Amino acid sequence: MSNFPVKIRGQVHQRGQIKELLVLLTVTLLLPFLCFAEESGFVQNGEWPLGLEPDFLVPIDNPITQSKVLLGKRLFFDKRLSKDKSISCATCHDPAQSFSNGKTVAEGVLGLKGTRNVPSVINRLFGRAQFWDGRSETLESQALAPLLNPSEMAMSKELILERLKADTVYQQLFEDAFDSVPTLDGVSKAIASFERTLLSDSTPFDRYEWNGEKNALSESAIRGLMLFRGKARCSTCHIGTNFTDERFHNLGAGEGEGQKDPGLAQVTKNSADFGKFKTPTLRNITLTAPYMHDGSLETLEDVIVFYNQGGRPNSNLDKEVKALELTNQEKADLLEFLKSLTGPIISVNVEELQALTQ
């Protein structure tokens, strides 16, 4: 399973008994297995993947360390971080579905439903603002929000700390990662550190584009790539090796003639931002249906039809969203190219991330 080294301090401190240390050692070594025991997905460790540019920023006050990632990994898969202990971060961000959940909108404790589709957390190492509306500037601030949201995990700050402090394994992991008892600041930094290791690439497209493997893409997918960069105008917003400009656009997606969800305007309080949502990555797009901020488009075919018709007209429609007039063959070719953007998900080696930040 995980290759993350486990650091056990050589002194027993106040525990005073070798037996307790051996128990702690055994449990800690089993952490990677325990983390995934009740989850359907699994993430291998790996090296920096083919096709991603190592151009990212890690906060100065939260450098990536092995101990933080191990702690964040356990927190991410721990259902005790929800009020009724029924869901974890990984319930909505399932590794088997590219860290999304395959449902129209988020579902929290007691079956409560949110109003937006669950975005994937892969490649957020390259991200800027978080959430569809960009309300969190960092992964650290994003990490705590679902835990405290009454419609998601419904925890209180006090209950989070109470449960963590009652767990001897967490006591040791926080000591190793932060030299402290469990804290909310540590929770947010550890989860963010783990999420920054989650990368996906090495797709058929990457093998074709970066390794020169001309047989990696079908003739249809190659035609789709040309459309993606040309007539279909996809690369206007889905740019770079992560296929996103990380900006906000109004496509007319959503219910009714415009949008009922204010999107970015809820954050900026600027009416010109009404209905704008962040451009998602297209990495592993075949695994993250349904699509758009509200999950209103069930398939990639639906998405292509939506863009082909020029989105849905409204007063804030992005000027770059225009009718495309794609033929049926061109739609099929574009779909084949989009399918070529799905690849394996890895938790990239911490040592490599550390080296790239120096």
Catalytic, 336? Answer no
Residues 301 and 171 in one domain: no
Number of domains in the chain: 2
User: Which residues contact residue 257 at a Cβ distance below 8 angstroms, ignoring those fewer than 6 apart?
Assistant: 312, 313, 314
Residues 47 and 177 in one domain: yes
Whether the pTM exceeds 0.75: the reply is yes
140, 152, 330, 336: the catalytic one is 152
Residue pLDDT, tens place only, 231-290: 999 999 999 999 999 999 999 998 654 468 999 999 999 999 999 999 999 999 999 999
Judge whether residue 10 has pLDDT over 50: no
Judge whether residue 38 has pLDDT over 70: no
CA 120 – CA 227 distance, rounded (Å): 25
Residues 351 and 329 in one domain: no
User: Read out DSSP for 60-116?
Assistant: TTS---HHHHHHHHHHHT-GGGSTTS---HHHHSBGGGTTB-SSSS-B-GGG-B-SS
CATH of residue 85's domain is 1.10.760.10
Pairing of strands 345-348, 44-46: parallel
- Answer yes or no: is 3 within a domain: no
Residues 35 and 82 in one domain: yes
pLDDT score recorded for residue 36: 42
- Measured between alpha carbons, how far apart are the two ends of the chain, in Å? 28
Residues 129 and 270 in one domain: no
Domain range holding 131? 18-200+344-356
Q: Would you put residue 63 in left (φ > 0), alpha (ψ -120 to 50) or beta?
A: beta
pLDDT score recorded for residue 260: 87
Residue pLDDT, tens place only, 300-315: 999 999 999 999 989 8
